[in-house]
C-alpha cells in the first residue's frame, strides 16, 4: 500500500470523517470503528500522567502494551515496531505519545492525520514541535523504509511524529 500524498488521497484511502462530525465539531463514536489493535513488541510508558478523577492527585506512570491504529495501517505499524525490536533498537523508543486523537492539526484548521489513526507520536518529551529533537536515526529509517513520513523533515519540525501520509497536506 502506498501512503496518500494529500488530503484527497487520505480520504479516498482511509475514509471520509465528514458524515461522522457532529455540529459541535466532535466525532461520533461510530468513526472509531476504523481502528484496529496493534500489539507492541514490548510495553512503553505513556508520555503523560493521568490524575485520579476524585482527588486530582497524579497517578503512577502507566505503560501500554496495545494501541489502536487505522485498520489499513495497523499491520504496517506493527511490522515497523517489530522490526525495531528485532534489530535491537526498541530501546530508542522510550515513550508513547499517542496515535488516534480527534483534533485539528496544531496551529491549523485541517484535521490531523491522528484523526484517522494513521500517525504516531514517539518520545515526545525530547522531540517537541518546532525543535530538532533527538529521534534515533534507526527509528526514522525503520518508519521511512515502510513508507511512513517523519515530521522532523517538515519546515516546522515535529520530530516525535510519524504518519502514513505525505507532508502535512
Domain residue spans in the chain? 10-19+34-50+60-163
Q: What is the 3-state secondary structure (H, E, C) of 35-82?
A: EEEEEEEEEEEECCCCECCCCCCECCCCEEEEEEEECCCHHHHHHHHH
Q: pLDDT class for 56, splitting at 50, 70, 90?
A: confident
> What pLDDT score does 49 carry?
75
Give tens-digit pLDDT for 103-158.
877 666 678 899 999 999 999 999 999 999 999 999 999 999 999 999 999 999 99
User: What is the pTM assigned to this prediction?
Assistant: 0.90
User: Is a pLDDT exceeding 60 seen at residue 168?
Assistant: no
Please provide the CATH number assigned to the domain covering 10-19+34-50+60-163. 3.30.1380
Cα dist. 30→22, 77, 98, 158 in Å?
Answer: 12, 23, 20, 30
Cα(51)–Cα(10) distance, rounded to whole angstroms?
35
Q: Which residues contact 163 (CB under 8 A, 6 or more apart)?
A: 113, 118, 119, 120, 148, 149, 151
User: Is a pLDDT exceeding 90 seen at residue 169?
Assistant: no
Give tens-digit pLDDT for 92-106.
999 999 999 998 776
Q: Mean pLDDT throughout 20-36?
A: 94
Q: If you write DSSP's letter for every residue of 129-155 in order, what string do you get?
A: TTS-----HHHHHHHHHTT-EEGGGSS
Is the Cβ–Cβ distance between 32 and 20 less than 8 Å? no
Is the Cβ–Cβ distance between 35 and 23 less than 8 Å? no
Cα dist. 102→17, 32, 59, 79, 121 in Å?
Answer: 10, 10, 24, 24, 14
Amino acid at each position: 500500500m502506498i501512503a496518500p500524498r494529500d488530503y484527497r488521497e487520505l480520504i479516498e484511502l482511509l475514509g471520509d470523517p465528514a458524515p461522522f462530525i457532529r455540529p459541535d465539531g466532535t466525532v461520533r463514536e461510530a468513526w472509531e470503528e476504523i481502528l484496529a489493535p496493534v500489539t507492541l513488541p514490548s510495553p512503553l510508558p505513556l508520555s503523560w500522567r493521568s490524575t485520579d478523577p476524585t482527588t486530582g492527585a497524579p497517578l503512577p506512570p502507566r505503560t501500554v502494551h496495545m494501541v489502536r491504529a487505522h485498520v489499513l495501517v495497523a499491520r504496517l505499524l506493527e511490522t515497523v515496531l517489530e522490526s525495531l525490536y528485532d534489530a535491537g533498537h526498541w530501546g530508542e523508543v522510550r515513550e508513547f505519545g499517542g496515535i488516534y486523537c480527534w483534533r485539528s492539526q496544531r496551529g491549523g484548521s485541517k484535521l490531523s492525520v491522528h484523526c484517522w489513526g494513521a500517525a504516531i507520536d514517539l518520545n515526545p518529551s525530547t522531540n517537541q514541535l518546532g525543535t530538532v529533537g533527538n529521534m534515533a536515526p534507526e527509528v526514522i529509517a525503520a518508519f521511512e523504509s515502510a513508507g511512513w513520513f517523519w515530521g522532523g523533515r517538515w519546515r516546522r519540525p515535529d520530530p516525535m511524529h510519524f504518519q502514513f501520509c505525505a507532508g502535512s497536506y
